[in-house]
Amino acid sequence: MTAETDQISSRLLELQTIDERIRETRKRVESYGPMIAAVDEPVDRLEKDVKVTTERVRELRLEERRMRLSAEDKRLRVQRLKNREVRTMRQEAAVQAELGLVNRALEREELDVLSLLDQVAKFEDRLEARKLELEEARSSVESEREAIAQQEEETRTELAELEAARERFAAGINSRVLALYNALARSGRRDVVTRMTHDGACGSCYSRIPLQLQNEIRTKAPLVRCEACGVIVTAPLPLDDDAPEESADLS
């Protein structure tokens, strides 16, 4: 293995580690939205309830007003009927019959007005209670919400730093090698590059690599791909070398 191919191998592996961290950080950034939604859930629910109850109170008030005006109207009719001059028995009978009808309708409407007033009172109580609950829920989720938003902001900064570091690091890699790496990474595969095992298998899918290729990987070629899984296979770390693997500086 030449120093040059080993350097390319190390860099690609390092790049893969950075990309893994970027993926993981991106996933964390995306997790905050659902977390905030979960925290907001009781507030959203109470807001909906307050809206629906407000609308119900409004409808009941309108209905009560309509019924009250109608009862008022019938009371006037009753007054007019009582004051009407009648000259014959037939006219008297007709007036009494109409009075009976109007009075019965009036009684029904007066009962309806009472029942509607009851309902208005009940729904207004409920509305007040829900509004109080909503206020409490809002103030209790506020600090939790802020803490999550703070974490999200920090994670976004972390991601931006990682992406900038990746760009700087990738600039130091041979462009042909980088293009192949990027194309493979874009295809969505998890392992883009792996080290060959010491006994000559792909480090990702553990398929045996033909001897001829093993030799190429060990000696010169940095861009050999596993015939089974397509990953870029680089030379294994030398067995007799206890120096730590070369690690790129991310800063």
Contacting positions for Zn ion (CB under 5 A): 202, 204-205, 207, 226, 228-229
CB of 204 to Zn ion, least distance (A): 5
Rounded Cα distance, 169 and 155, in Å:
21
Instruction: Concatenate the DSSP letters of all residues of 208-237 into one string.
Output: BPPHHHHHHHHHT-S-EE-TTT-PEEEPPP
SS3 187: coil
Helix axes 3-83, 89-171, angle to 10 degrees: 170
At 13, the amino acid letter reads: L
How far from the centroid of its chain's Cα atoms is residue 131's Cα? 25
Closer Cβ to Zn ion, 130 or 195, answer by number: 195
Closer Cβ to Zn ion, 170 or 205, answer by number: 205
CB of 192 to Zn ion, least distance (A): 12
Closer Cβ to Zn ion, 165 or 228, answer by number: 228
Closer Cβ to Zn ion, 137 or 232, answer by number: 232
For tokens 């109470």, name the residue.
46
At 239, the amino acid letter reads: L
Closer Cβ to Zn ion, 117 or 228, answer by number: 228
Structure tokens at 133: 């609950």
